[in-house]
Amino acid sequence: MVERGLEKEVTGFYERFVNEVNNGERGAVPNVGLFQAIGFKEFIPFLNGSETFSSCLDDLKRTTLRYAKYQRKYFRNNMLHLLTNLDGIVKGVTIDIAHKTPETSSHLVTTIKSFLSSSSSSSSSSSSSSSLPSLPAHGISLLDLTPVPSAPKDKTVYKCCGKCLIGSHEYAQHVKSKLHKTRNSKKWLEKEARKEEYLARTVNKYSTDADEMYNTTIKSFSKTVPISIHQSSAEESWPGGALWDPGVVVARFLENQTLVPPPLLQRNLKNVNIIELGCGTGFTGIVAGALGARFVACTDMECVTSAVTERNVSLNSPAYSSRSTGSRVISRPLSWGTSDFASVDSLFEEMRQATKTHFVDLIIAVDIAYQRPGLPPHFDLFVQTMNRILEISSKPDPNAAKGQGRKKKKGKMKEEPQPVKETLFIYGHRRRMSVSEDLLNLVYEHFEDVVPPIQAHEIDPKSFSSKEKHGITVSVLRQKNKGQVNVDC
């Protein structure tokens, strides 16, 4: 208050109060008791224009009331029981200031000050009413008053209007704001409902019937390779049993990779190890195998892999197991979260046996934000599985060949530094509902962009237009605050 230019008000408020009461004026503190007057209300005219104190107003009110109650109890227990005639003191403490005389208030203030300062009150008593006895010196100072413990701070988190509000006071202030009233108006809610409905019924461009076979071709090593994908609309495997546009867009991105610099992502996927989470039909992983990836693991829930993924991997084996590619594509059930870390470890062991390394070059996840009604969110489980894969992949390989990384020069073996690589995460995202944005925000809490997100019309301009609201993006990410790891190529 002093820093804000209120020094005069802070130092002189008591004198002003006494003078106004003695002169019969009621302008600044009308119809309030003594303890209410010596508090925050005295300064309201000076603080109305300051937003700094608005958030503290409720706390100040509670503190003032709590301290006033403590004072009343203290005087009653330590002072008033010593008196034989309590009329004057009780009147001064309890009655409203508008119904008492200045003499009573003046005597009350003098008595309390003399009691707390351990000075004799006989001189003040002689000039006052003779019915009030003098008080003995108790030697009590204001510092001896034990402070009342403050109420625990409200840390309740309220999520409203896209904001995180901490504490009931902050939430109450937000409810009164124009933003909250606008967001909860009937017109706004109807607009948001129409937007959600539009995004939810977005129609596929590549495959429009989940009960039909999807046939396409890709270019692999100057050859045209046919790929056929079986789909299923059965309830137990839905929606993983269907082929969705984001999966095809990511496959086209891998096929025509020109938007990411070659040191980060090669033009072809030769000698690349890939794990796909939530693969669905397995189309993206099968295309990666046909493009030359050394090892591809297509993983999803068992109800999905048994219904469509295993069948598609077997059906398209000629596309990825030819002599020019020599890839291995497998389908394995994998549930996200710590409960199925054993399946993750088993997957790495299988990859080590096939490739002599446990390093994963790419992790792929496409359009995995779907959430069945009534079920809890699975996004935290997804992050747990991602962290487990990155943890194992970053470990040094104990089975590395002894001579690897060494070069013979003039009869001597010279040590060469091993190439430095890092695991990249390719995430195909389609904005359908708010839940898809929640997952995207969670992904960006743990990963960062290698290149700016790539739109679907940049990857496949024949199928998507830049003027179209397709909502499909492909992000190439790396783990945040994670150093590069040394691996064997």
pLDDT tens-place string over residues 401-414 = 444 555 555 555 55
Instruction: Give me the pLDDT at residue 287, please.
Output: 92
d(CA 89, CA 103): 11
Closest among 45, 37, 95, 44 to 64, alpha carbons compared: 37
How far from chain centre, in Å, is Cα 352? Answer: 36
Domain ranges of the chain: 7-144, 157-200, 214-397+418-486
User: Residue 453 has which token pair?
Assistant: 């997100």
347 contact partners, CB below 8 Å, separation of at least 6 = 275, 297, 299, 332, 334
% of the chain residues with pLDDT over 70: 58
At residue 485, the pLDDT reads 38
Q: Classify burial at 16, counting beta carbons within 10 Å of its beta carbon; exposed 0-12, middle 13-18, buried 19 or more.
A: middle
Which residues touch 65 (CB under 8 Å, ≥6 apart)? none
Please give the Cα distance from 237 to 196 (Å, whole number): 24
> Contact, 119 vs 137, CB < 8 A?
yes
Q: Which of 19-33, 117-131, 207-221, 442-456 has the lowest mean pLDDT?
A: 117-131
Average pLDDT rounded to a whole number, residues 458-465: 85
Q: What is the pLDDT of residues 65-91, one digit of tens each?
A: 888 888 777 777 766 555 544 444 444
**Average of per-residue pLDDT values in the chain:** 72
CB-CB contact of 404 with 288 (8 Å) = no
> Who's near 152: CB < 8 A, 6+ residues apart?
none
Per-residue confidence at 271, pLDDT binned at 50, 70, 90? confident
Torsion sign over Cα 379, 381, 382, 386:
positive
- Position 283 scores a pLDDT of 94
Average pLDDT over residues 41-64: 61
Report pLDDT for 170.
Answer: 84
3-state secondary structure the chain: CCCCCCHHHHHHHHHHHHHHHHCCCCCCCCCCCHHHHCCHHHHHHHHCCCCCCCCCHHHHHHHHHHHHHHHHHHHHHHCHHHCCCCHHHHHHHHCCHHHCCHHHHHHHHHHHHHHHCCCCCHHHHHCCCCCCCCCCCCCCCHHHCCCCCCCCCCCCEEEECCEEEECHHHHHHHHCCHHHHHHCCHHHHHHHHHHHHHHHCCCCCCCCCCCCCEEEEEEECCEEEEEEECCCCCHHHCCCCCCCHHHHHHHHHHHCCCCCCCCCCCCCCCCCEEEEECCCCCHHHHHHHHCCCCEEEEEECHHHHHHHHHHHHHHCHHHHCCCCCCCEEEEEECCCCHHHHHHHHHHHHHHHHHHCCCCCCEEEEECCCCCCCCCCCCHHHHHHHHHHHHHHHCCCCCCCCCCCCEEEECCEEEECCCCEECCEEEEEEECCCHHHHHHHHHHHHHEEECCCCEEHHHHCCCCCCCCCCCCEEEEEEEECCCCCEECCC
Domain 214-397+418-486 homologous superfamily, CATH: Vaccinia Virus protein VP39 (3.40.50.150)
Residue with tokens 């470890």: 345
| Encoded tokens for 244 | 């969705």
Q: How far is CA 3 from CA 38, 88, 103, in A?
A: 21, 40, 36
pLDDT level of residue 298 (50, 70, 90 thresholds): very high
pTM of the full structure: 0.56
Separation of alpha carbons 489 and 486, rounded Å: 10
Q: Kindly state the tokens that stand for 392.
A: 């194992």
